[in-house]
């Protein structure tokens, strides 16, 4: 089976578990799925396990900070059944962790295309958050301004994460002198 397809399907399952779980009052479902999937994913990257781990953790930290800024600014909030953590929720951070697992695989073709990444982030980010709001997992205070905040967030985050991928891979190759092989 195509490895990129497996990666994409796993991320979509993570997204659905997190968003639908939160909307249904089970905000722990997404983090549970990620706790099962991400170690398998990281192990499958073999020689790039350190890169993948650093990337996923950095994306989680970045997502926590950026989403928390939007929450604290009043741009988004979470219904009572979806709350798990503060200011943003653990299941939202899970989405950032899962998304990071696609950057070297499904989205690997975007490396070095930072303007395209910014454009895609500015469009796809708000669409994902809007979808989450329609499913009842998140509440956008005033839809258009909230989506603009998310658009700016992802317009910055997407190229930044891709730049991080390049830097981490370069550093890993330098430290292992290019002897890298992975199954993903």
d(CA 91, CA 155): 21
Q: What is the mean pLDDT of the chain?
A: 91
Average the pLDDT over 131-156 and give the result: 94
CA nearest 105: which of 48, 54, 160, 156? 48
pLDDT score for 182: 52
For 166-175, the pLDDT digits (tens) are: 999 888 887 7
Element (H, E) at 124: helix 114-134
Please give the backbone phi and psi of residue 73, each rounded to the nearest 5 degrees, phi first.
-85, -5
The pLDDT-based confidence of 119 (bands split at 50, 70, 90) is very high
Tokens, residue 111? 């490396």
The pLDDT-based confidence of 118 (bands split at 50, 70, 90) is very high
d(CA 117, CA 154): 9
Q: What is the DSSP letter of 179?
A: -
Question: Residues 6-38, buried b or exposed e (16+ Cβ, 10 A)?
Answer: ebeebbeebbebbbbbbbeebbbbbbebbeebb
Coil, helix or strand at residue 70: helix
For 102-111, the pLDDT digits (tens) are: 999 899 898 8
The structural domains of the chain, with segments of one domain joined by +, span 3-174
Structure pTM?
0.90
Measured in residues, the chain has a length of 184
């Amino acid at each position: 089976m195509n490895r990129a397809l497996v990666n994409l399907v796993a991320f979509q399952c993570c997204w659905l578990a997190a968003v639908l779980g939160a909307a249904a009052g089970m905000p722990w479902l997404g983090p549970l799925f990620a706790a099962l999937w991400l170690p398998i994913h990281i192990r499958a990257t073999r020689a790039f396990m350190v890169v993948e781990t650093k990337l996923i953790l950095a994306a989680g930290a970045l997502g926590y900070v950026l989403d928390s800024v939007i929450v604290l600014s009043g741009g988004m909030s979470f219904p009572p059944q979806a709350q798990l953590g503060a200011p943003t929720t653990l299941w939202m951070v899970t989405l950032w962790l899962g998304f990071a697992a696609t950057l070297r695989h499904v989205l690997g073709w975007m490396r070095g295309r930072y303007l395209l990444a910014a454009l895609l982030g500015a469009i796809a980010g708000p669409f994902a958050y809007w979808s989450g709001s329609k499913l009842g997992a998140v509440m956008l205070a005033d839809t258009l301004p909230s989506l603009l905040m998310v658009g700016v967030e992802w317009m910055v985050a997407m190229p930044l994460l891709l730049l991080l991928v390049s830097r981490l891979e370069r550093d890993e190759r330098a430290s292992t002198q290019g002897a890298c092989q992975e199954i993903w």
